Amino acid sequence: MSTELHAVTGAFGFSGRYIARNLLDRGRNVITLTNSLHRPNPFGESVKAYPFNFDKPEKLTESLSGVSVLYNTYWVRFNYKTFGYSTAIQNTFALFEAAKKAGVKRIVHTSITNPSESSPYEYFRDKAIIEKNLIESGISYAILRPAVLFGKEGILINNIAWALRKFPYFSIFGDGNYRLQPIYVDDFAKLAAEQGEKSENTIINAIGPETFSYRELIEEIGSIIGKKRPFISVPPAFGYFFALIIGKFVHDVMLTKDEIKGLMDNLLYVDAPPAGKTKLTEWVRENADILGSHYESELARRKK
């Protein structure tokens, strides 16, 4: 067992849980920073949990005391009445500052493909702002840029399968020829853990081995789970409105305008070698019986 201490944000959530598990498997000592201290700890005594304490910088710094590597997955998917991008930016800045004061040697940070400070989309623009802040912090960094993460607890791929099971047709925005490159969450976690063992500054496009057009992705999933549906091409505004209606019934924000427009602008595609090995198509085949059997709610997770 290594005596080095590694901290993961959100180890009770999706990607953070996989990163923590990979680190434990490598013999690392792991703690987590979380807003969900009331959740059951899937790691028991192996991972001690501390509150984020974004509003108490000295407490946040104290929690990171002795930490060698920080793995940051903290973010929000959309603006909501109880959380939003502007708060997430300030909280992330506070996290990086606390890490610096605590003497953290390296930060492995989760970003997004194609971030840009000039992006018209707040999600991608704010991700770029955070990357810049980390780069200028002086702390050794690895910035990982996934397009879409998939896994048993994932939201996007599951809810596509759910919609295919639930409705007699599937609406796509425009022609559906824009591309995306999903990466398996455990492959992503392994990449993060590997980068935690290095020291050079790096930015990695964390994409999977398969590239799909959106239309192809829906066709593949539908075929594998036995729910192929005819497509209806709709304008983005209509697709967003339809997602709002579904969201009312499932008590969630199903899609955002930034997600739709970013997807259609090919921002979830990069010309780069794959960082993961697991094929989405093979994973869907292995999980065809359960994929999409229920809706995965972002808001329900946050409330829990």
Q: Specify the pairing of strand 170-173 against strand 148-150.
A: unpaired
Q: Are 44 and 32 in contact (CB under 8 A)?
A: no
Q: What is the pLDDT along the chain (304 residues), one digit of tens a residue?
A: 557 899 999 999 899 999 999 999 999 999 999 988 888 898 999 999 999 999 999 999 999 999 999 999 999 887 777 778 899 999 999 999 999 999 999 999 999 999 999 999 999 999 999 999 999 999 999 999 999 999 998 999 999 999 999 999 999 999 999 999 999 999 999 999 999 999 999 999 999 999 999 999 999 999 999 999 999 999 999 989 989 999 999 999 888 999 999 999 999 999 999 999 999 999 999 999 999 999 998 888 776 6
Query: Which neighbouring-strand residues pair with 29?
Result: 5
Q: Specify the pairing of strand 179-180 against strand 212-213.
A: antiparallel
**Residues 30, 155: Cα–Cα separation, whole Å:** 26
Query: Which neighbouring-strand residues pair with 195?
Result: none
Q: Check residue 304 and give its pLDDT.
A: 60
Q: Check residue 2 and give its pLDDT.
A: 59
Q: Check residue 78 and give its pLDDT.
A: 72
Tokens of 104: 């953290």
The DSSP code for 83 is B
Chain centroid to CA 144: 10
The DSSP code for 54 is T
**Residues 126, 16: Cα–Cα separation, whole Å:** 20
**Residues 300, 297: Cα–Cα separation, whole Å:** 5
First to last CA, the chain: 33
